[in-house]
Amino acid sequence: MSICCFAAAQERQTIAIYMVGTEPWGAKGMYQILGAELAKTISMSERYSTVERNSEILEQMVSEYSYQASGIVDDGQRVSPGRQHGVKYLCMVQVRAVGNTFTVEARLVDLETAKVERIVTEYSGLRSVNEKRLIAQKVAYELIEFESARKQAKQEQIRRARKKKALVSTAVIFDILGAGAIAYGVMENRNLRNHTDNNQYKNAETAEKKRNLAYIAGGALMATGLSIHIFF
């Protein structure tokens, strides 16, 4: 179970972020990315600020909140489980696998009233680190909900889109150069056969070296292009 926690100073409201359960298979690292993006978003907010709390305190708050939210405790008898720890809100985050996709859900709960203030749910395949980061940012900004953060999120998305476009263009260049090198190698292979058939062994040796170098260079270029396509 991954746990991140945050508390506030001065007049800002305090938040503890709790990652529910364990990450499903295929969403490795999502809790870490979610925690980081939520922490960054909260730190940029004028309404919230962050201070670390240990996992034992978080477990205690979650347990007490679940008990009071069950309806066993009357509204007038409720005591905020976060008050003694300086925490106003509990943010419960969970990632679930649904077929070939994942749901990322975050609930912002008022620990004093046990009221769910906001729920954010996003769906994604989480196929790459970049996709995980973008979903985490979207959840964080919608949950905290403030304009400056939304603008920063938009700028970040534009920056990442430009970076991806540049990488794709680079990959295409590698693809073209690699294909050209392989084609040159095929041509030199024909020359090799012709020189061999005509007993031109010196020319055949030269053609063989050119063919081998072309194949090696072409393979390396195309492998680089393919790697960029896969990982970015």
Token digits of residue 180: 């050209």
- Chain mean pLDDT for the chain: 78
Q: Classify 96 as helix, strand or coil.
A: strand
205 CB-near residues (< 8 Å, 6+ apart): none
**Is the separation of the CB atoms in 50 and 39 below 8 Å?**
yes
Q: How much is the pLDDT for 141?
A: 81
- pLDDT band at residue 77 using 50, 70 and 90 as cut-offs: very low
**Does the residue 2 lie in any domain?**
no
Asked whether residue 10 is domain-assigned, the answer is no
The string of pLDDT tens digits covering residues 5-55 is: 544 344 777 787 888 888 888 888 888 888 888 878 777 777 776 655 545
Angle at 69 between CA 64 and CA 71, to 5 degrees: 120
- pLDDT for residue 212: 93
Q: Is residue 153 part of a domain?
A: no
Question: Residue 15's pLDDT is what?
Answer: 82
Q: Is residue 157 part of a domain?
A: no
Question: Residue 173 contacts by C-beta under 8 Å, 6 or more apart in sequence?
Answer: 225
173 shares a domain with 83? no
Do 27 and 79 share a structural domain? yes
Residues 121 and 24 in one domain: yes
Residues 111-130, mean pLDDT to the nearest whole number: 83
pLDDT, tens digit, 9 for 90 and up, residues 142-187: 887 655 555 666 777 788 888 888 888 999 999 999 999 999 999 9
Give the residue-averaged pLDDT of 97-116: 84
Contact at 8 Å (CB) between 48 and 42?
yes
Q: What confidence tier does 64 reach under pLDDT thresholds 50, 70, 90? A: low
Using a pLDDT cut of 70, give the percent of the chain over it: 75
Residue 93 lies in a domain: yes
Cβ-count burial of 53 within 10 angstroms (0-12 exposed, 13-18 middle, 19+ buried)? buried
On whether the CB atoms of residues 224 and 177 are closer than 8 A, the answer is: no
Domain count, the chain: 2
- Residue 207 pLDDT exceeds 60: yes
Tokens matching residue 93: 């985050």
119 and 208 in a single domain? The answer is no
Is residue 127 domain-shared with residue 173, that is, in the same domain? no
Q: Is residue 8 in some structural domain? A: no
Do 104 and 53 share a structural domain?
A: yes
29 and 127 in a single domain? The answer is yes
Tell me, yes or no, whether 137 and 172 share the same domain. no
Domain with 131, as residue range(s), is 15-145
Residue 4 located in a structural domain: no
- Judge if 97 and 205 occupy the same domain: no
Sign of the alpha-carbon torsion through 217, 218, 223, 224: positive
pLDDT of 65 reads 56
Q: Looking at the structure, tell me whether residues 121 and 70 fall in a common domain.
A: yes
The two three-digit tokens of residue 158, written as one number: 């534009």
Pick the more confident residue, 141 or 55.
Answer: 141
Q: Which two structure tokens, joined as six digits, stand for 151?
A: 């603008």
